[in-house]
Amino acid sequence: MRTMSDSLERLYLAVLAARDLDPATSRTARLFQRGPSKMAKKLAEEAIEVVIDAVNGDSEAVIRESADLLYNLTVLWASAGVRPEDVWREMTRREDMLGIAEKLPKSPPKLPKVASPRMASRRPIVALDGRAARKRH
């Protein structure tokens, strides 16, 4: 079965292979020639296009622009020396953490409320006492 991570890994390898091609014929080589700030700009532009298409309710365009976004993300990864497996490892770490969180009790035991020492020291005890004292007269 072809998975999303296989597909991104193939794209990543294709980006690495295109890095040293002729910038006149390869878009990827051109991006590497122009450097990380140009790559970042392209990635941000594609992200904005996805956002606009989603807001407009154009799901077909969201799909197309998401694929462009992922291409530009893999280019930035390659430039930053980040490999897809580095990202998968972080995602697995988060999944594992969520797994642990699911095992924790849903609602923690209720403890009596205790004023924090900081709040207690800020309470204007003298002023309130003074007002209460005036009211009594």
Ligand X SMILES: N=c1c2ncn([C@@H]3O[C@H](COP(=O)(O)OP(=O)(O)OP(=O)(O)O)[C@@H](O)[C@H]3O)c2ncn1[C@@H]1O[C@H](COP(=O)(O)O)[C@@H](O)[C@H]1O
Applying CB under 6 A, the residues found at the interface with ligand X are 11, 14-15, 18, 21, 26-28, 42, 67-68, 71-72
For residue 98, the minimal CB distance to ligand X (Å) is 31
Report d(CA 107, CA 116) in Å as an integer.
22
Nearer to ligand X, 73 or 124 (CB): 73
Contact 50, 62 (CB under 8 A): yes
Q: How far is CA 114 from the centre of its chain?
A: 36
CB nearer ligand X, residue 51 or residue 115: 51
Q: Considering the complex, state which of residue 42 and residue 77 has its C-beta at the smaller distance from ligand X.
A: 42
Residue 69 C-beta: closest distance to ligand X, Å = 9
Please, which residues have CB within 8 angstroms of residue 72's CB and are 6 or more apart in sequence? 39, 42, 43, 46
| Nearest distance, CB of residue 71 and ligand X, angstroms | 3
Residue 38: CB minimum distance to ligand X, A = 10
Nearer to ligand X, 30 or 82 (CB): 30
The count of C-alpha atoms lying within 13 angstroms of the C-alpha of 92, restricted to the half-sphere facing its C-beta, is 7
Q: At 133, which amino acid appears? A: A
